[in-house]
Each structure stands twice: as C-alpha cells, then as structure tokens.
Chain A
Amino acid sequence: MSPAEVEDIKIPPIRNGTVIDHITDGQALNVLKILGVNENNIDSCISIGIHVTTNRSGEKWKDIVKLEDMELDPVTVSKIALIAPNATISIIRDYYVAEKYDVKLPEYVVGLVRCSNPNCITNKGEPVNPKFLVEANCPPKLRCVYCDRILQNISDNLM
C-alpha cells in the first residue's frame, strides 16, 4: 500500500466537504480554532490527523483536517495561512476534488490574532480590533498596524 492509501485508512475519504492538507505539524487544532469550527456549531463529522507522514519533499510530518458537508470559501481559509502557510484546500464533491487551491494571506489580517507586545494599545482594553500588515507569506511575517512591532508566536496569540 502506498503512504496515501495508508493515510486514507487512518483518515477516511469524505464524500462532500473540505480537506485541509499539508497543515504545519501540530497546528490542526489551531486551524479549527481559526475557522471557528467546533462540536457546537457543526452537524457533520470532523476528521483530524495529527503527526501524519507526508511525501512532500523537505517535510516529514504534517497535519490534515477533513470537514464533511462544509465547503469553506477562499476568504475564510486564507486565514489558515497564519499558522499553516503551506496548507492546501480541496473542495470535495461526490468523492472527487472539485476545486483545489493554496492558502494565501490577505493584505491585512484583522481581528484574528492579538499583538504579542503587551504594551501595545490593542492589549489595553480599548475598543479596537488588532490589525496587522502582512509583510511576508511564508513564513508569515505580520507587522502590527498600531505599535509597528512584528508579531511573535502567531499560534500562541490566536484570538
């Protein structure tokens, strides 16, 4: 059996929905956090693979998430690039890949992650949504629009 077939046994294929593949190892739960998907707001199955082997050159492990009966739009999934810049999104219809694209951050990231600078005005109880200018996509480099600092430890600062 090929590694892909082995993976299919561990994480079964879905008939309809979204597959988020090549997530940075260990970030699958943060991907769900970014998408706002949890057991309370979805009626279908979520399959998660953590620390799964990958064939992609230069990488050994990845995470994968499969969301049944949910088609995520490109704007929503673009947020995933915050913590998994190499992820790919496949929209599955009747077991076939109907659409496939890479994640890409928008010009600005707003309201998804808080500034890592504790002295930034956005962390001081003001009515303001944290906003970051995306200076690089892979790895993501975000500059706070307010305090001008580069955001450190993105996954630790997800809102």
Chain B
Amino acid sequence: MDFTDKDLVSIRDLDREQIEYILDLSKKMVPYARGEKVKRALDGKIMANLFFEPSTRTKLSFESAAYRLGCDVIDVSEMSMTSIAKGETLADTIRMVDAYCDAIVLRHPYEGAARLAADVSSKPVINAGDGAGSHPTQMLLDLFTMKEVKGSLDGLNVALVGDLKYGRTVHTLAQALTMFGVKLTLVAPESLQMPQDIVDNLKAKGCNPVKTSVLEDAISDADVLYVTRIQRERFPDPAEYQKVAGTYRIDNATLRTAKKDMIIMHPLPRVNEIATEVDDTPHARYFEQAFNGVPVRMAILCALMGGEM
C-alpha cells in the first residue's frame, strides 16, 4: 500500500484496509520504538513539528518517533514565538515551513487548520489535533492499543466516557470503531453528549450507539472503557464547566462489576477521572497506550515520508 506524500488530516482520509496496514506496520515498529533495534529509515529527512496548542504526549511522541527513524526535527511550540503573532496567516506560515522540511505535523486551536495546511503544502501534512475537530493519530494509537490487548477489534463492546461533545479524540475514534463492527455506549452528561451529526454518521455506518449518563450502566458489559477528561479549556462559559466537572470518577469500587479482562484507556492528561489506585490493576492500560504513540507515529511517518523498513 502506497501512502507516500499523502496527508493524514481526518478519519475521512482512511478506510479499514489502510487503518489495518498502519496498525500492522506499527506492530513492526515496537522493538525500534523501544530502542531494542535500530533502523534509520528516514535518514536525511526533516519533520516540522508545529504545535500552536499545548501538548505533552503527542508532541514528544512525534519527536521520539522521528528520532527513532533517524529523521531530524524542527519545531515551534508557541504561536507567540512565530510570525503569526505579527499577523501572518497560517497559510503563509505553512508555505514557508513547507520549504524547510519533508513533512509537517500540525496541532492548532482551530478546526480545519490541518486541511488548510494540506491544501497549501506540497509535503505530507499530519493532523496532530485541530481544535475540537479531528485527532487521527490518537485514533490510530487507540485502535492499536485495543488490538494489541484484545487480539481483535471486531465486535468489541466499547464505552466512551466523559466529554463526548468537545473531545476531538472520541469523535474520531467513534467513527473509526464503526469500521470494525464495534458496539458503542456513549456515557456523558446530557450537555456533553456526542454531537448529533457524529451520531447520525455512526448510524449511517450501521452502528447504533446507546446513550446514557450513568457510568454504572456501561461498566459490566464493556470490553474497553475509554475515559476522557472534561476539558476546561473548551468551555466558552466557566459556569458551564463547573456544572459538569468531576461527573465521573473511576476507582476500584466503581470497577467491582467490570469483566476481569476489561481494559481502561485514557488519552491523558487525566485530572481526577481515574483514581491512582486503578493504576495498579490489570485494567489500567493508559500508560501503555501513551507509549504506543511512538510506534504508531513511527509507522505513520515512515508510510507518508517514504521510509523503507
């Protein structure tokens, strides 16, 4: 499968076959991501890491992925440090960066920023999160984590919990899971439920998600509990945030009715959604999930930048 010079902007850029190809390539990358093997498949190439919004895992794992493949990295971490602060448009910034690198990784506060970047850049553009929009590389590493632990994605019972309205991760993940016949339960306060156009999209693809605001309704049947933080920074009104902050908290008592092999995932950072006592249970997979960002992003970089493994 040839991904060379393609963009990875939204779930719409991928079909099931392409996702499976990336997941298979990610598995091959694991020993290289751990440093147990070395191959400089992208030697001499340069990746531009443009992060106009705060990030720890995504930014660092992209950098780690690039370095593990022998790819050099140039980066921007703050909008205030760029000419955008002087009034330059994103389109002009991207045209300039395009001349300095072989691929662009972009995180931006506005939805659609990555598609605009892909329009004006001749190099592959990878969306590392655009506002409340898409986060396709997170979706791929989430699928990889589920597949690695459960053996297969087909027919899994997945409960998405927390901020399903503003959380870009769950928007992208829910749409990808429909390609694998997954049963979805959407656990959120009414004001933070999944946007209707995404639910309509899920239904059009044959998935009929169950909506609930009660976490206990979902735990006993779930194979995967995917928990998200209620994001203070996405709320236009702080009073609205206070109404729903801390709605769900998972601790060992909450997990009494869970299947023994049920796994808990979280894109991190967590605030207080998951008690630290859960970290020591076999359910907790979120730190493994964070590590998986490296092999999956190595696979994505390698595929888009034409590396040979």
Partner of A150, one of B109, B133, B197: B197
Partner of A128, one of B119, B131, B132, B134: B119
| Interface contact A148-B12, CB-CB below 8 Å | yes
Looking at chain B, what size class is its interface with the partner chain?
A: 20 to 34
Listed by A's residue number, 19 A-B pairs whose Cβ atoms lie within 8 Å are A117-B111, A119-B109, A119-B132, A121-B110, A121-B111, A121-B113, A121-B115, A121-B116, A125-B89, A126-B90, A126-B91, A126-B116, A127-B91, A144-B112, A146-B111, A147-B112, A147-B130, A147-B131, A148-B10
Expressed in whole angstroms, the Cα–Cα distance for A121 and B113 within the complex equals: 5
Residue of chain B at shortest CB distance from A144? B112
Q: Is the interface of B mostly helix, strand, loop or mixed?
A: mixed
Expressed in whole angstroms, the Cα–Cα distance for A87 and B116 within the complex equals: 34
Least CB distance from B231 to A in Å reads 14
**A residues in contact with B132, CB < 8 Å:** 119
Least CB distance from A8 to B in Å reads 43
The reply to whether the CB of A90 lies closer than 8 angstroms to some CB of chain B is no
Partner of A120, one of B12, B110, B119: B110
| Interface contact A146-B197, CB-CB below 8 Å | no
Least CB distance from A57 to B in Å reads 28
Residue of chain B at shortest CB distance from A130? B112
Least CB distance from B96 to A in Å reads 14
Expressed in whole angstroms, the Cα–Cα distance for A20 and B267 within the complex equals: 53
Partner of A146, one of B89, B109, B112: B112
**A residues in contact with B111, CB < 8 Å:** 117, 119-121, 146-149
The reply to whether the CB of A32 lies closer than 8 angstroms to some CB of chain B is no
Partner of B89, one of A119, A120, A126: A126
Least CB distance from A50 to B in Å reads 31
Expressed in whole angstroms, the Cα–Cα distance for A31 and B116 within the complex equals: 29
Q: Given the known A-B contacts A128-B119, A148-B12, are A122 and B112 also in contact in the complex, defined by CB atoms under 8 Å?
A: yes
| Interface contact B110-A148, CB-CB below 8 Å | no
Q: When each residue 124-159 of chain B gets 1 if its CB lies under 8 Å from chain A and 0 otherwise, what string results?
A: 000000111110000000000000000000000000
Interface of B toward A, CB cutoff 8 Å: 10, 12, 89-91, 108-113, 115-116, 119, 130-134, 197
Known: A124-B110, A147-B133, A148-B111. 13 other contacts (CB 8 A): A119-B109, A121-B90, A121-B111, A121-B116, A121-B130, A126-B89, A127-B91, A128-B91, A145-B112, A146-B112, A147-B115, A148-B112, A148-B134
Q: Is the interface of A mostly helix, strand, loop or mixed?
A: loop
Interface of A toward B, CB cutoff 8 Å: 115, 117, 119-122, 124-128, 144-150
Least CB distance from B251 to A in Å reads 35
**B residues in contact with A122, CB < 8 Å:** 112, 116
Residue of chain A at shortest CB distance from B87? A125
Least CB distance from A124 to B in Å reads 5
**B residues in contact with A120, CB < 8 Å:** 110-112
**B residues in contact with A124, CB < 8 Å:** 90, 110
| Interface contact A128-B116, CB-CB below 8 Å | yes
| Interface contact A149-B197, CB-CB below 8 Å | yes
**A residues in contact with B131, CB < 8 Å:** 119, 147
**B residues in contact with A125, CB < 8 Å:** 89
| Interface contact A145-B115, CB-CB below 8 Å | yes
**B residues in contact with A121, CB < 8 Å:** 90, 108, 110-113, 115-116, 130
Expressed in whole angstroms, the Cα–Cα distance for A63 and B113 within the complex equals: 39
Least CB distance from A142 to B in Å reads 11
Expressed in whole angstroms, the Cα–Cα distance for A145 and B132 within the complex equals: 15
Residue of chain A at shortest CB distance from B115? A146
**A residues in contact with B109, CB < 8 Å:** 119
Q: Name the residue in A122, A145, A147 with the highest tally of chain B Cβ atoms < 10 Å from its Cβ.
A: A147
Expressed in whole angstroms, the Cα–Cα distance for A128 and B133 within the complex equals: 18
Residue of chain A at shortest CB distance from B131? A119
Least CB distance from A48 to B in Å reads 34
Q: Given the known A-B contacts A146-B112, A146-B115, are A127 and B133 also in contact in the complex, defined by CB atoms under 8 Å?
A: no
